[in-house]
Amino acid sequence: MIDERKIELMTQLVDEYISSAHPVGSLMLVERYRLAWSTATIRNEMALLEEAGYMFQPYTSAGRVPTKQGYRLYIQHLRPARLSQRAVSHLEQTIQSLADTSPSSLKDISRALADISGEIAFVAIGAYAVTSGIQNLSGKPEFDDPDFMEEIVGILDTLEERLESINEELSCEPRMFIGDAKHFGKTCSVLAVATTLKGKPVMVGLIGPLRMNYGKNMALLQSLTISH
């Protein structure tokens, strides 16, 4: 049974893993979050969460890492995030400066989204999509994972077709595809939303590893759902 304590521990573990990219142990959680429970209690709870498929231990004596199922549980209880005023201003200025929805204008939006999110960003209109932020991958530990990089290259090579396959599933609320092998890949996460720019319908989204900052990135996409 996933009770409140397990949800709190799962949330803290995912937050810590997103931040550090290192397996998270019970002692780290106690010290970082000043938890009232003993390390023995936390180890027991983590073992139960691992048994239920929400986290795993990459090697003996290591801490735990969230699974795709764990990320999905985390997102169900995701606390609303707030973007910095600087990020909001940067995005608003970029949108306001658009003269049209030409490829160069779409590129400006994708660059702004990539700069703020630290992920790969895309903006698509009709069957045409532009991307920015591929260089952001070089600073992530996942850059050294050949499976992740192979999936990213595959996504970018066939992005228009993949976006077409999810077009009817999108709305003004951001949709998450977490390790969705059917559409994008088991080692990647994609966040996408349908909105408008200059009165034209567009699809906007972010592509990155499973270990992405979901709270910040969801807030970023939600800020685009007002018609422009």
| Mean per-residue pLDDT pooled into runs of 10, the chain (228 residues) | 91 95 92 88 94 93 93 91 88 88 92 96 94 96 96 97 93 92 95 92 96 95 74
Closest CA to 205 of 135, 153, 146, 130: 130
Q: What is the pLDDT of residue 178?
A: 96
Strand (E) positions, the chain? 55-56, 65-66, 120-125, 128-132, 175-178, 188-197, 200-209
**How many helices and strands in the chain, by DSSP H and E?**
9, 7
- Helix, coil or strand: residue 129: strand
pTM of the model: 0.93
Q: What is the pLDDT of residue 226?
A: 57
Residue with tokens 């700069």: 115
Residue 200, φ and ψ in degrees, nearest 5? -110, 140
> CA 203, CA 106: separation in Å to the nearest integer?
11
Q: What is the pLDDT of residue 100?
A: 87
CA distances from 33 to 19, 77, 85, 108, 167 (A): 14, 18, 27, 39, 40
User: Is 125 within 8 Å of 202 (Cβ atoms)?
Assistant: yes
Q: What is the pLDDT of residue 98?
A: 86
Domain ranges of the chain: 4-76, 85-222
Q: What is the pLDDT of residue 96?
A: 87
Q: Enter the CATH code of domain 85-222.
A: 3.30.450.40
Q: What is the pLDDT of residue 227?
A: 44
Which fold is adopted by the domain 4-76? Answer: Arc Repressor Mutant, subunit A (1.10.10)
Residue with tokens 């709270």: 215
Closest CA to 42 of 30, 24, 58: 30
Q: What is the pLDDT of residue 61?
A: 80
